[in-house]
Chain A
Amino acid sequence: MTTAHPRARILIGKPGLDGHDRGAKYIVHILRDAGYEVVYTGIRRSPEQIVEAAIQEDVAAIGLSLLSGAHNELFRQVIDLLKARGAEDILVFGGGIIPASDIPGLHEMGMAAVFTPGSSAKEIIATVDRLLSVRQEV
Protein backbone atom coordinates (compact mmCIF):
# COMPACT_ATOMS: atom_id res chain seq x y z
CA MET A 1 0.00 0.00 0.00
CA THR A 2 1.22 3.47 -0.77
CA THR A 3 -0.10 6.80 0.39
CA ALA A 4 -0.08 10.31 -0.99
CA HIS A 5 2.05 11.45 1.95
CA PRO A 6 4.24 8.52 2.90
CA ARG A 7 5.88 10.40 5.74
CA ALA A 8 2.90 12.18 7.29
CA ARG A 9 2.92 12.01 11.06
CA ILE A 10 -0.17 10.96 13.01
CA LEU A 11 -0.68 10.86 16.76
CA ILE A 12 -2.90 8.17 18.25
CA GLY A 13 -4.32 8.94 21.66
CA LYS A 14 -6.73 7.44 24.15
CA PRO A 15 -8.38 10.20 26.15
CA GLY A 16 -10.24 9.50 29.36
CA LEU A 17 -10.29 6.60 31.70
CA ASP A 18 -10.81 3.47 29.64
CA GLY A 19 -7.76 1.26 29.31
CA HIS A 20 -8.89 -0.89 26.40
CA ASP A 21 -6.04 -0.18 24.02
CA ARG A 22 -6.38 -3.05 21.58
CA GLY A 23 -8.22 -0.90 19.05
CA ALA A 24 -5.75 1.97 19.36
CA LYS A 25 -2.78 -0.37 18.89
CA TYR A 26 -4.49 -1.97 15.89
CA ILE A 27 -4.85 1.46 14.28
CA VAL A 28 -1.21 2.27 15.10
CA HIS A 29 -0.18 -0.95 13.37
CA ILE A 30 -2.22 -0.53 10.20
CA LEU A 31 -1.19 3.12 9.83
CA ARG A 32 2.47 2.13 10.18
CA ASP A 33 2.02 -0.53 7.51
CA ALA A 34 0.40 2.09 5.30
CA GLY A 35 3.56 4.21 5.55
CA TYR A 36 2.62 6.72 8.23
CA GLU A 37 4.87 7.79 11.06
CA VAL A 38 2.73 7.17 14.10
CA VAL A 39 3.29 8.57 17.58
CA TYR A 40 1.48 6.43 20.13
CA THR A 41 0.78 8.06 23.46
CA GLY A 42 -0.69 5.24 25.56
CA ILE A 43 -3.80 4.90 27.67
CA ARG A 44 -5.65 7.25 30.07
CA ARG A 45 -4.45 10.60 28.77
CA SER A 46 -6.09 13.96 29.25
CA PRO A 47 -7.17 16.00 26.20
CA GLU A 48 -4.56 18.58 27.29
CA GLN A 49 -1.75 15.99 27.19
CA ILE A 50 -2.85 14.75 23.78
CA VAL A 51 -3.10 18.23 22.24
CA GLU A 52 0.23 19.38 23.68
CA ALA A 53 1.97 16.23 22.43
CA ALA A 54 0.40 16.69 18.98
CA ILE A 55 1.71 20.25 18.79
CA GLN A 56 5.23 19.29 19.88
CA GLU A 57 5.26 16.39 17.44
CA ASP A 58 3.84 18.59 14.67
CA VAL A 59 1.49 15.86 13.47
CA ALA A 60 -0.90 16.22 10.55
CA ALA A 61 -3.68 14.40 12.36
CA ILE A 62 -4.79 13.06 15.72
CA GLY A 63 -6.66 9.76 15.95
CA LEU A 64 -8.66 9.27 19.14
CA SER A 65 -9.79 5.86 20.37
CA LEU A 66 -12.47 5.70 22.99
CA LEU A 67 -14.64 2.90 24.29
CA SER A 68 -16.02 4.43 27.46
CA GLY A 69 -18.98 6.30 25.99
CA ALA A 70 -17.52 9.73 26.81
CA HIS A 71 -16.71 10.47 23.14
CA ASN A 72 -19.05 13.47 22.78
CA GLU A 73 -17.39 15.29 25.66
CA LEU A 74 -13.74 14.24 25.19
CA PHE A 75 -13.61 14.60 21.39
CA ARG A 76 -15.06 18.08 21.79
CA GLN A 77 -12.43 18.99 24.38
CA VAL A 78 -9.61 17.95 22.04
CA ILE A 79 -11.08 19.99 19.18
CA ASP A 80 -11.64 23.03 21.42
CA LEU A 81 -8.09 22.86 22.81
CA LEU A 82 -6.64 22.68 19.30
CA LYS A 83 -8.61 25.78 18.37
CA ALA A 84 -7.44 27.56 21.51
CA ARG A 85 -3.83 26.78 20.57
CA GLY A 86 -4.30 27.99 17.00
CA ALA A 87 -3.77 24.44 15.76
CA GLU A 88 -7.13 23.72 14.19
CA ASP A 89 -5.35 22.68 10.99
CA ILE A 90 -4.50 19.40 12.76
CA LEU A 91 -7.21 16.97 11.65
CA VAL A 92 -9.00 14.91 14.27
CA PHE A 93 -10.55 11.52 13.58
CA GLY A 94 -11.84 9.04 16.07
CA GLY A 95 -13.21 5.61 16.65
CA GLY A 96 -14.67 3.27 19.23
CA ILE A 97 -18.01 2.13 20.55
CA ILE A 98 -19.95 5.05 19.16
CA PRO A 99 -23.73 4.92 18.56
CA ALA A 100 -24.74 5.80 14.99
CA SER A 101 -27.01 8.51 16.40
CA ASP A 102 -23.99 10.39 17.81
CA ILE A 103 -22.02 10.45 14.57
CA PRO A 104 -23.69 13.44 12.85
CA GLY A 105 -23.10 15.54 15.99
CA LEU A 106 -19.43 14.53 16.06
CA HIS A 107 -18.98 15.54 12.42
CA GLU A 108 -20.66 18.81 13.22
CA MET A 109 -18.23 19.57 16.05
CA GLY A 110 -15.35 19.09 13.61
CA MET A 111 -14.40 15.41 13.66
CA ALA A 112 -13.01 14.66 10.20
CA ALA A 113 -14.05 10.98 10.37
CA VAL A 114 -15.58 8.57 12.86
CA PHE A 115 -14.99 4.83 12.73
CA THR A 116 -16.96 2.13 14.51
CA PRO A 117 -16.33 -1.58 15.19
CA GLY A 118 -17.50 -2.47 11.68
CA SER A 119 -14.88 -0.29 9.95
CA SER A 120 -12.31 -2.31 7.99
CA ALA A 121 -8.58 -1.58 7.94
CA LYS A 122 -8.81 -0.77 4.22
CA GLU A 123 -11.62 1.66 4.75
CA ILE A 124 -9.78 3.42 7.60
CA ILE A 125 -6.56 3.75 5.58
CA ALA A 126 -8.42 4.97 2.51
CA THR A 127 -10.20 7.62 4.57
CA VAL A 128 -7.02 8.81 6.31
CA ASP A 129 -5.20 8.90 2.94
CA ARG A 130 -7.98 11.00 1.46
CA LEU A 131 -8.11 13.38 4.43
CA LEU A 132 -4.36 13.92 4.48
CA SER A 133 -3.85 14.12 0.72
CA VAL A 134 -5.19 17.66 0.70
CA ARG A 135 -2.87 18.82 3.48
CA GLN A 136 0.33 20.66 2.58
CA GLU A 137 3.45 19.20 4.16
CA VAL A 138 6.42 21.45 4.87
Chain B
Amino acid sequence: MNEDIVHLVCDVRQNPAENTRAAARLMSLLENHPARITELYAGLADWPEPLMVLGITGPPGAGKSTLVDQLIELYRKRHPLRRLGVIAVDPSSHASKGSVMGDRVRMMRHATDPHVFVRSLAARGHLGGLALGVRGVLRVMGLMQCELILIETVGVGQSEMEVAEFADMVAIVLAPGQGDGIQLLKSGLMETGDVFVVNKADRDGANQLQSQLLTTLNLRASVADAGAPPPVCMTSALGGDGMDGFLDLLEDHCARSADQWLTQRKQRFEQEVEQAVLQEAHRRLADMLRTSGIGSEGITRVLRGETTVNELATVLLQLGARGKPPYNEGHVDERRP
Protein backbone atom coordinates (compact mmCIF):
# COMPACT_ATOMS: atom_id res chain seq x y z
CA MET B 1 0.00 0.00 0.00
CA ASN B 2 1.25 3.43 -0.87
CA GLU B 3 1.28 5.24 2.44
CA ASP B 4 1.51 8.76 1.20
CA ILE B 5 -1.42 10.94 2.36
CA VAL B 6 -2.48 11.99 -1.13
CA HIS B 7 -2.63 8.37 -2.35
CA LEU B 8 -4.50 7.16 0.70
CA VAL B 9 -7.04 9.98 0.37
CA CYS B 10 -7.48 9.12 -3.29
CA ASP B 11 -8.08 5.41 -2.54
CA VAL B 12 -10.61 6.13 0.21
CA ARG B 13 -12.43 8.73 -1.85
CA GLN B 14 -12.75 6.42 -4.86
CA ASN B 15 -14.03 3.38 -3.03
CA PRO B 16 -14.59 3.69 0.71
CA ALA B 17 -16.14 0.22 1.05
CA GLU B 18 -13.16 -1.58 -0.50
CA ASN B 19 -10.49 0.57 1.10
CA THR B 20 -11.13 0.30 4.83
CA ARG B 21 -7.48 -0.52 5.34
CA ALA B 22 -6.38 2.66 3.55
CA ALA B 23 -8.85 4.65 5.66
CA ALA B 24 -7.50 3.09 8.85
CA ARG B 25 -3.89 3.81 7.85
CA LEU B 26 -4.79 7.39 7.02
CA MET B 27 -6.35 7.76 10.45
CA SER B 28 -3.15 6.45 12.09
CA LEU B 29 -1.03 8.84 10.07
CA LEU B 30 -3.14 11.81 11.15
CA GLU B 31 -3.28 10.56 14.73
CA ASN B 32 0.50 10.20 14.96
CA HIS B 33 1.21 13.46 13.10
CA PRO B 34 -1.74 15.79 13.84
CA ALA B 35 -0.09 18.74 12.06
CA ARG B 36 -0.17 16.88 8.76
CA ILE B 37 -3.92 17.49 8.62
CA THR B 38 -2.94 20.69 6.81
CA GLU B 39 -2.13 18.49 3.79
CA LEU B 40 -5.85 17.75 3.46
CA TYR B 41 -6.98 21.36 3.28
CA ALA B 42 -6.60 21.64 -0.47
CA GLY B 43 -9.25 18.91 -0.88
CA LEU B 44 -11.71 20.30 1.64
CA ALA B 45 -13.80 22.26 -0.85
CA ASP B 46 -15.45 19.11 -2.20
CA TRP B 47 -14.93 16.90 0.84
CA PRO B 48 -18.02 14.78 1.59
CA GLU B 49 -19.93 16.08 4.62
CA PRO B 50 -21.80 13.89 7.10
CA LEU B 51 -25.43 14.67 7.89
CA MET B 52 -24.73 14.81 11.59
CA VAL B 53 -21.77 14.68 13.96
CA LEU B 54 -23.07 13.81 17.40
CA GLY B 55 -20.93 14.15 20.51
CA ILE B 56 -21.71 11.74 23.32
CA THR B 57 -20.28 12.64 26.67
CA GLY B 58 -20.86 12.06 30.35
CA PRO B 59 -19.28 10.49 33.42
CA PRO B 60 -17.54 7.07 33.30
CA GLY B 61 -19.94 4.18 33.46
CA ALA B 62 -23.04 6.22 32.58
CA GLY B 63 -23.60 3.92 29.60
CA LYS B 64 -22.16 5.97 26.72
CA SER B 65 -20.75 3.00 24.80
CA THR B 66 -23.90 0.93 25.28
CA LEU B 67 -25.97 3.88 24.08
CA VAL B 68 -23.70 4.18 21.02
CA ASP B 69 -24.13 0.45 20.34
CA GLN B 70 -27.93 0.79 20.41
CA LEU B 71 -27.82 3.93 18.27
CA ILE B 72 -25.80 2.06 15.63
CA GLU B 73 -28.31 -0.81 15.71
CA LEU B 74 -31.32 1.45 15.33
CA TYR B 75 -29.79 3.83 12.78
CA ARG B 76 -28.74 0.93 10.57
CA LYS B 77 -32.27 -0.49 10.71
CA ARG B 78 -33.80 2.84 9.76
CA HIS B 79 -31.21 3.68 7.08
CA PRO B 80 -29.85 0.41 5.68
CA LEU B 81 -27.78 2.15 3.00
CA ARG B 82 -26.13 4.79 5.13
CA ARG B 83 -22.63 4.46 6.49
CA LEU B 84 -21.89 5.31 10.11
CA GLY B 85 -18.67 6.10 11.94
CA VAL B 86 -17.82 5.96 15.63
CA ILE B 87 -14.82 7.62 17.28
CA ALA B 88 -14.36 6.27 20.79
CA VAL B 89 -11.82 7.99 23.01
CA ASP B 90 -10.40 6.42 26.16
CA PRO B 91 -7.80 7.79 28.58
CA SER B 92 -4.04 7.16 28.39
CA SER B 93 -1.90 6.32 31.38
CA HIS B 94 0.18 9.27 32.55
CA ALA B 95 2.72 6.79 33.88
CA SER B 96 3.21 4.25 31.08
CA LYS B 97 1.51 6.20 28.23
CA GLY B 98 -0.37 2.98 27.54
CA SER B 99 -4.12 2.78 27.26
CA VAL B 100 -6.94 0.30 27.48
CA MET B 101 -9.56 1.11 24.89
CA GLY B 102 -12.64 -0.80 25.90
CA ASP B 103 -15.53 1.09 24.34
CA ARG B 104 -15.52 -1.26 21.40
CA VAL B 105 -16.44 -4.23 23.61
CA ARG B 106 -20.04 -2.95 23.66
CA MET B 107 -20.14 -2.45 19.89
CA MET B 108 -18.61 -5.67 18.60
CA ARG B 109 -21.84 -7.02 17.13
CA HIS B 110 -21.40 -4.38 14.40
CA ALA B 111 -17.77 -5.27 13.68
CA THR B 112 -18.53 -7.12 10.45
CA ASP B 113 -21.17 -4.65 9.23
CA PRO B 114 -19.51 -3.01 6.20
CA HIS B 115 -21.52 0.16 6.84
CA VAL B 116 -20.08 0.68 10.33
CA PHE B 117 -16.54 1.85 11.06
CA VAL B 118 -15.39 2.13 14.66
CA ARG B 119 -12.10 3.72 15.62
CA SER B 120 -10.75 3.84 19.17
CA LEU B 121 -8.33 6.59 20.14
CA ALA B 122 -6.24 7.00 23.27
CA ALA B 123 -6.28 10.54 24.67
CA ARG B 124 -2.44 10.62 24.79
CA GLY B 125 -2.34 13.19 27.53
CA HIS B 126 -4.70 15.56 25.75
CA LEU B 127 -7.12 17.25 28.14
CA GLY B 128 -10.65 18.19 27.23
CA GLY B 129 -12.20 14.74 26.86
CA LEU B 130 -10.91 13.95 23.37
CA ALA B 131 -7.62 13.16 21.63
CA LEU B 132 -5.58 15.23 19.19
CA GLY B 133 -6.28 12.63 16.52
CA VAL B 134 -10.04 13.24 16.57
CA ARG B 135 -9.89 16.00 13.98
CA GLY B 136 -8.16 13.78 11.45
CA VAL B 137 -10.27 10.69 12.09
CA LEU B 138 -13.41 12.80 11.76
CA ARG B 139 -12.19 14.11 8.42
CA VAL B 140 -11.40 10.60 7.15
CA MET B 141 -14.85 9.34 8.22
CA GLY B 142 -16.35 12.20 6.21
CA LEU B 143 -14.27 11.05 3.24
CA MET B 144 -15.62 7.52 3.74
CA GLN B 145 -19.08 9.05 3.29
CA CYS B 146 -20.27 8.31 6.81
CA GLU B 147 -23.66 10.03 7.19
CA LEU B 148 -23.71 9.87 10.95
CA ILE B 149 -20.55 10.21 13.04
CA LEU B 150 -20.66 9.57 16.77
CA ILE B 151 -17.83 10.90 18.93
CA GLU B 152 -17.73 9.26 22.32
CA THR B 153 -15.52 11.13 24.77
CA VAL B 154 -13.56 9.69 27.67
CA GLY B 155 -15.61 9.54 30.85
CA VAL B 156 -15.77 13.20 31.83
CA GLY B 157 -16.43 15.19 34.95
CA GLN B 158 -17.35 18.82 34.86
CA SER B 159 -15.02 20.79 32.62
CA GLU B 160 -14.26 18.67 29.55
CA MET B 161 -16.31 20.30 26.80
CA GLU B 162 -14.01 20.04 23.79
CA VAL B 163 -16.43 17.72 22.00
CA ALA B 164 -18.71 20.73 21.42
CA GLU B 165 -16.03 22.13 19.08
CA PHE B 166 -16.25 19.09 16.81
CA ALA B 167 -19.88 18.00 17.05
CA ASP B 168 -22.99 19.60 15.58
CA MET B 169 -24.84 18.48 18.64
CA VAL B 170 -23.81 17.18 22.06
CA ALA B 171 -25.71 14.59 24.08
CA ILE B 172 -24.87 14.42 27.77
CA VAL B 173 -25.46 10.98 29.22
CA LEU B 174 -26.15 10.76 32.94
CA ALA B 175 -27.20 7.89 35.16
CA PRO B 176 -28.87 7.87 38.57
CA GLY B 177 -26.74 7.53 41.67
CA GLN B 178 -23.90 9.85 40.64
CA GLY B 179 -24.55 12.85 42.85
CA ASP B 180 -27.37 15.06 44.01
CA GLY B 181 -29.02 18.13 42.48
CA ILE B 182 -26.09 20.39 43.39
CA GLN B 183 -24.02 18.71 40.66
CA LEU B 184 -26.59 19.85 38.11
CA LEU B 185 -26.25 23.47 39.20
CA LYS B 186 -22.55 23.67 38.42
CA SER B 187 -21.03 25.49 35.48
CA GLY B 188 -19.30 23.74 32.63
CA LEU B 189 -20.40 20.47 31.16
CA MET B 190 -24.04 20.87 32.18
CA GLU B 191 -24.26 24.07 30.16
CA THR B 192 -23.06 22.54 26.88
CA GLY B 193 -25.63 19.81 26.27
CA ASP B 194 -28.05 20.11 23.35
CA VAL B 195 -29.87 17.05 24.58
CA PHE B 196 -29.69 15.19 27.88
CA VAL B 197 -30.07 11.46 28.36
CA VAL B 198 -30.95 9.91 31.68
CA ASN B 199 -29.70 6.39 31.04
CA LYS B 200 -30.32 3.34 33.26
CA ALA B 201 -33.83 4.74 33.59
CA ASP B 202 -34.99 1.43 35.03
CA ARG B 203 -32.94 2.07 38.16
CA ASP B 204 -33.94 3.74 41.41
CA GLY B 205 -33.43 7.47 41.37
CA ALA B 206 -33.88 7.91 37.61
CA ASN B 207 -37.14 9.84 37.94
CA GLN B 208 -35.66 12.05 40.63
CA LEU B 209 -32.65 12.79 38.41
CA GLN B 210 -34.99 13.60 35.53
CA SER B 211 -37.03 16.07 37.57
CA GLN B 212 -33.91 17.76 39.02
CA LEU B 213 -32.49 18.02 35.53
CA LEU B 214 -35.71 19.48 34.10
CA THR B 215 -35.89 22.02 36.92
CA THR B 216 -32.31 23.18 36.30
CA LEU B 217 -32.67 23.31 32.51
CA ASN B 218 -36.03 25.10 32.63
CA LEU B 219 -34.77 27.70 35.06
CA ARG B 220 -31.70 28.41 32.96
CA ALA B 221 -33.71 28.69 29.76
CA SER B 222 -36.26 31.04 31.31
CA VAL B 223 -33.68 33.31 32.92
CA ALA B 224 -31.56 33.47 29.78
CA ASP B 225 -34.63 33.91 27.61
CA ALA B 226 -33.08 31.28 25.36
CA GLY B 227 -36.18 29.58 24.07
CA ALA B 228 -37.03 25.98 24.87
CA PRO B 229 -34.69 24.16 27.27
CA PRO B 230 -32.73 21.17 25.92
CA PRO B 231 -34.84 18.02 25.86
CA VAL B 232 -34.32 15.19 28.34
CA CYS B 233 -34.60 11.58 27.13
CA MET B 234 -35.07 8.61 29.40
CA THR B 235 -33.31 5.48 28.15
CA SER B 236 -32.29 2.09 29.35
CA ALA B 237 -29.73 1.45 26.69
CA LEU B 238 -28.84 -2.10 27.72
CA GLY B 239 -32.32 -3.33 26.81
CA GLY B 240 -32.92 -0.69 24.15
CA ASP B 241 -35.78 1.08 25.97
CA GLY B 242 -36.24 4.71 24.97
CA MET B 243 -33.82 4.47 22.05
CA ASP B 244 -36.46 5.05 19.39
CA GLY B 245 -37.51 8.29 21.05
CA PHE B 246 -33.89 9.40 21.39
CA LEU B 247 -33.11 8.77 17.72
CA ASP B 248 -36.40 10.44 16.65
CA LEU B 249 -35.30 13.50 18.54
CA LEU B 250 -31.82 13.48 16.96
CA GLU B 251 -33.16 13.06 13.44
CA ASP B 252 -35.74 15.76 13.96
CA HIS B 253 -33.00 18.11 15.17
CA CYS B 254 -30.87 17.14 12.17
CA ALA B 255 -33.67 17.86 9.70
CA ARG B 256 -34.24 21.30 11.19
CA SER B 257 -30.59 22.30 11.65
CA ALA B 258 -28.74 20.74 8.71
CA ASP B 259 -28.12 24.07 6.94
CA GLN B 260 -27.07 25.81 10.11
CA TRP B 261 -24.66 22.96 10.88
CA LEU B 262 -23.04 23.19 7.44
CA THR B 263 -22.46 26.90 7.91
CA GLN B 264 -21.07 26.27 11.38
CA ARG B 265 -18.70 23.58 10.07
CA LYS B 266 -17.52 25.88 7.29
CA GLN B 267 -16.74 28.59 9.82
CA ARG B 268 -14.80 26.06 11.89
CA PHE B 269 -12.81 24.95 8.84
CA GLU B 270 -11.94 28.57 8.15
CA GLN B 271 -10.84 29.06 11.74
CA GLU B 272 -8.85 25.85 11.54
CA VAL B 273 -7.01 26.99 8.42
CA GLU B 274 -6.43 30.39 10.04
CA GLN B 275 -4.94 28.67 13.09
CA ALA B 276 -2.77 26.47 10.88
CA VAL B 277 -1.44 29.47 8.96
CA LEU B 278 -0.67 31.26 12.23
CA GLN B 279 1.08 28.18 13.58
CA GLU B 280 3.16 27.85 10.45
CA ALA B 281 4.06 31.54 10.54
CA HIS B 282 4.90 31.25 14.22
CA ARG B 283 7.06 28.20 13.56
CA ARG B 284 9.02 29.99 10.82
CA LEU B 285 9.51 33.13 12.87
CA ALA B 286 10.56 31.12 15.92
CA ASP B 287 13.07 29.26 13.75
CA MET B 288 14.55 32.56 12.57
CA LEU B 289 14.68 33.99 16.08
CA ARG B 290 16.51 30.93 17.36
CA THR B 291 18.83 30.10 14.50
CA SER B 292 19.75 33.30 12.75
CA GLY B 293 22.09 35.97 14.02
CA ILE B 294 19.42 38.53 13.28
CA GLY B 295 17.25 36.95 15.95
CA SER B 296 19.72 36.88 18.82
CA GLU B 297 21.36 40.17 17.78
CA GLY B 298 17.95 41.72 17.42
CA ILE B 299 16.96 40.71 20.93
CA THR B 300 20.19 42.17 22.31
CA ARG B 301 19.55 45.39 20.37
CA VAL B 302 16.03 45.64 21.78
CA LEU B 303 17.44 45.23 25.30
CA ARG B 304 20.03 48.00 24.62
CA GLY B 305 17.28 50.29 23.35
CA GLU B 306 18.77 50.43 19.83
CA THR B 307 15.62 49.09 18.22
CA THR B 308 12.07 48.22 19.24
CA VAL B 309 10.14 44.95 19.34
CA ASN B 310 7.96 46.34 16.57
CA GLU B 311 10.91 47.06 14.29
CA LEU B 312 12.49 43.66 14.98
CA ALA B 313 9.20 41.92 14.17
CA THR B 314 8.98 43.87 10.89
CA VAL B 315 12.53 42.83 9.92
CA LEU B 316 11.79 39.18 10.70
CA LEU B 317 8.49 39.24 8.82
CA GLN B 318 10.21 40.72 5.75
CA LEU B 319 12.91 38.05 5.88
CA GLY B 320 10.31 35.35 6.56
CA ALA B 321 8.32 36.32 3.50
CA ARG B 322 10.88 34.35 1.51
CA GLY B 323 10.00 31.40 3.75
CA LYS B 324 10.85 27.78 4.11
CA PRO B 325 8.74 24.88 2.93
CA PRO B 326 6.80 23.03 5.65
CA TYR B 327 7.74 19.50 6.78
CA ASN B 328 11.43 19.92 6.19
CA GLU B 329 13.90 17.51 7.76
CA GLY B 330 13.86 17.60 11.51
CA HIS B 331 10.17 18.42 11.64
CA VAL B 332 8.91 18.05 15.19
CA ASP B 333 7.40 14.64 15.99
CA GLU B 334 4.04 15.45 17.57
CA ARG B 335 3.78 11.98 18.97
CA ARG B 336 5.92 12.99 21.92
CA PRO B 337 4.27 15.87 23.75
Contacts and interface: CB of A to CB of B under 8 A. Distances in A.
Interface of A: 1, 6-7, 9, 28-29, 31-42, 45-46, 48-50, 52-53, 55-58, 85-87, 137-138
A38 B96 CA distance: 12
Given A57-B120, A58-B27, A86 B108 contact: no
Contacts of A41: 104-105, 108, 111
Q: Is the interface of B mostly helix, strand, loop or mixed?
A: mixed
Interface of B: 1, 3, 20-21, 24-25, 27-29, 32, 92-93, 95-102, 104-105, 108, 111-112, 117-120, 122, 124, 335
Given A29-B100, A35-B98, A85-B21, A58 B28 contact: yes
A49 B86 CA distance: 16
Contact of B21 (A29, A46, A55): A55
In order of increasing CB-CB distance, the 10 nearest A-B pairs are A32-B98, A42-B105, A58-B24, A49-B111, A37-B99, A58-B28, A35-B98, A37-B122, A35-B96, A39-B101
A33 B21 CA distance: 28
A36 B122 CA distance: 10
Contacts of B28: 9, 58, 138
A7 B24 contact: no
A42 B96 CA distance: 23
Contact of A40 (B27, B92, B100, B118): B100
Contact of B98 (A33, A49, A85, A137): A33
A34 B111 CA distance: 27
B40 to A, nearest CB: 15
Contacts of B29: 138
Nearest to B110: A49
Contacts of A29: 100
A137 B99 contact: no
B108 A42 contact: yes
A11 to B, nearest CB: 9
B98 A53 contact: no
A39 B111 CA distance: 13
19 contacts: A7-B335, A32-B93, A36-B99, A37-B92, A38-B98, A38-B99, A39-B104, A40-B102, A40-B104, A45-B108, A48-B112, A52-B112, A55-B20, A56-B20, A57-B120, A58-B24, A85-B21, A86-B21, A138-B29
Contacts of B335: 7
A39 B120 contact: yes
